[in-house]
Structure 1
Amino acid sequence: MLAASAATLFIPAASATPVVLYNLPLWLKFGITGYSQIQAFGQILPQNAGEDNPASTELTSFDGIASFIYPNDSVLMDMLAHPYYPAVVANDEAKFIDKKAHNGGQVAVFVSKVAPVVGYRGNDNAVAVDVWAGEEATKKKYQALFDEYNKQLNWMGSQ
């Protein structure tokens, strides 16, 4: 079962990309359940959201990746339509995203479904789907081992 959607954006920077935390109330209001900034660089074929083929065959440089996780596409669209977004967020983005690059600085956008497997320890809201296709005895054996690992982790967390 796929529980959420994700948009992953590859962006070229106009200056050093800051870690953005001031948008947290906006994200929470609209139900954005995950956001990551990845400081990485490379080249990628420009890709528009929802399109099967690249927008160009010419590689485009990027030096940052932003990834949003949300329950459905309307959540992201509603957030982008909120007056705070163009008034504050978009103005700030213009300071560190090269808006002259493909698609206003979102040189490649991939929208996909997310299948939660592992959440963050202590904040694990992921509900993984059981896809085990092996022997039940093997599953029980390793589940017991993993349960023991969890006991050890819980003990360490109480220190």
Structure 2
Amino acid sequence: MISMISHGLFKLRPKNYELRVFYVLDSHESSPALHTPEDSGSDDTSTSPPRCTVPKTLCEFQVRNIQLNDKYTELRCQNAELKDRNDKLQEQNTQLQDGNVELRIHNAELQGEVEKDVAIAQMRERLVQPVKQDKEECEWHFLILWMIIALVLFKL
């Protein structure tokens, strides 16, 4: 003999479908089993297994649905955090790129100054070489002149 203990109401969110489930105490079992209303009118001599798997699957589905909702919420939070971090990194990247442009401009200015200084140094070197050559020639001429003067003075 089967007696009714209580009933519960489950709602499937995706289809907004209601299924009434009855908790009954089976005469052969000491724990309650889940049965749908269709099971209550069936005879005990049928060979079909009890329909306990459908509500059990439904309960498992609901538990899984809750787990997935929790995971979904967790992933949404992580997604929001990652978006914030990505925005901050993009802003930092923009600042670094701006700094890089400024450094490249400064580097080009310094390179121009170095090239100018090198060109000036090369021009000075070119100008100094003829003076050195002239100075060396003058030194020889001066030395030869003194030798001639010394020879003339000693012969007298």
TM-score of the two chains, using structure 1 as the length reference: 0.16
Look at both structures and tell me which one has the larger radius of gyration over its CA atoms: 2
- TM-score after normalising by structure 2: 0.17
Between structures 1 and 2, the one with greater strand share: 1
